[in-house]
Amino acid sequence: MKAIVLTGRGRDGAAFRDHPKPDLRPGQVLVRMLAASVNRVDLYMRDSGAGITHSLPQVMGIDGVGEVAETGAGSHFAVGDRVILYPYEFCGTCRHCLAGEQPLCTTARILGEHRDGTFAEYIAVPETAVMALPREADIHEAAALGVAYMTAWRMVFGKAPAGPGMSVLVQGAGGGVSYAAAQLARRAGARVIVTTTGADKMAHFAAEGIEAVDYRAADVAKAVLALTGGDGVDLVIDNVGEKTWGASLRALTRGGHLVTCGATTGANPSADIARLFVRQLSIHGSTASNVEEFRRLLALFVAGKIRPRIDSVYPLDRTLEAFDRLEHPDRLGKVVIRIADPA
């Protein structure tokens, strides 16, 4: 089969080439992939992969949708069923799995990180990591849910849930997770302020009813305090890292919460411990979401209440161009890979 295969590190480490079609093991379904999306973590896998145990060559890609092509004995699925993939293989028996926290599974394996991923014509995955997707759902939009929207869901509705009457600052809102977080927080009835830059993006958010601060033109913390009458926001969503960390802490109201899921610009900012305890701030780390949160996200999407924004769509053989698009400053929303037409 054709796939985007990682054979080494760096820009030349990934290529469109032939790769063995996976065999079906007990408890698995074989999925013919229709669409997937590219995520920052794909670039991390290509360029570094530090801290990840896996063996190359390995198929890239973490999320996606497809159609069941083959099932094992006693399967709940039938050939031809449209499905969306939950990106974790989890054991189902460790204390974290039993508590419903599959991303904390002690033996979790993430598609495209620890095992073959979704940028391929076929993937074999455990049935527990597959959910039915209605045929009328847009496959490009659905392909954007598995990493970006799922990660954003837990950040917005996790330990410090956003809701009506609350204010939320989302840093770097052009990115996939951040854009999704702004959409979800707004859907929950919160006041949303984003940081971004460039006339087109500023205009886009204004048209969406979202207040935007141009981080190149303004001191972000001061601007947010001015917008909130000197109070600050209840919740900050920040996956930018070192560059935005200080402003994120200063933009919080007393007792506010900062949620982080990434560190694109560096992972070791100043902790500002005095500010943390005097103002009783909380910092939460967040990764992915559990199966139940993913089910709720899917239900909201299927009901038409949330529509992922698609920046662009590339065919599988041009995935390397899609990686470049992910880093382009004009990008707004998700970059999707189209793999095959539905049957």
Name which of residues 137 to 196 contact Zn ion (CB under 5 A): none
Minimum distance, C-beta of residue 253 to Zn ion, in the bound complex (Å): 37
Site string for Zn ion, 40-79 (x = CB under 5 A): ----------------------------------------
CB 101, min distance to Zn ion, A: 9
The answer to whether residue 97 forms part of the interface with Zn ion (CB under 5 A) is yes
| Binding status of residue 94 toward Zn ion by CB under 5 A | yes
Q: Does 104 bind Zn ion (CB under 5 A)?
A: no
Q: Which is nearer to Zn ion, 94 or 313 (CB)?
A: 94
Nearer to Zn ion by Cβ, of 60 and 97: the residue is 97
Among 4, 33, 38, 105, binds Zn ion (CB under 5 A): 105
Stretch that binds Zn ion, among 46-54, 96-104, 133-141, 152-160 (CB under 5 A): 96-104
Q: Would residue 336 be called left, alpha or beta, if left means φ above 0 and alpha means ψ between -120 and 50 degrees?
A: beta
Q: Are 227 and 207 in contact (CB under 8 A)?
A: no
- AA letter at 339: I
| Residue closest to 182 by CA, chosen among 198, 194, 195, 200 | 194
Binding residue count for Zn ion, defined by CB under 5 A? 5
Nearer to Zn ion, 105 or 251 (CB): 105
Q: Which two tokens stand for residue 73?
A: 């004995």
From the list 47-55, 86-94, 253-261, 322-330, the region that binds Zn ion by CB under 5 A is 86-94
Largest CA distance in the chain: 62
Q: Which is nearer to Zn ion, 85 or 170 (CB)?
A: 85
First to last CA, the chain: 17
Only segment of 85-93, 127-135, 185-193, 263-271 that touches Zn ion (CB under 5 A): 85-93
Determine if 91 is a binding residue for Zn ion (CB under 5 A).
Answer: yes
> Which residue has 């497809």 as its token pair?
66
Cross-sheet strand order for the sheet of 167-170: 211-214, 191-196, 167-170, 233-238, 252-260, 282-285
Q: Considering the rule CB under 5 A, would residue 291 count as an interface residue with Zn ion?
A: no
Show the 3-state SS of 232-256.
CEEEEEECCCHHHHHHHHHCEEEEE
For residues 216 and 340, give the distance between their C-alpha atoms in angstroms, rounded to a whole number: 41
Q: How far is the CB of 106 from Zn ion (least distance, A)?
A: 6
What's the sign of the alpha-carbon dihedral 16, 21, 22, 28?
Answer: positive
Residues that bind Zn ion (CB under 5 A): 90-91, 94, 97, 105
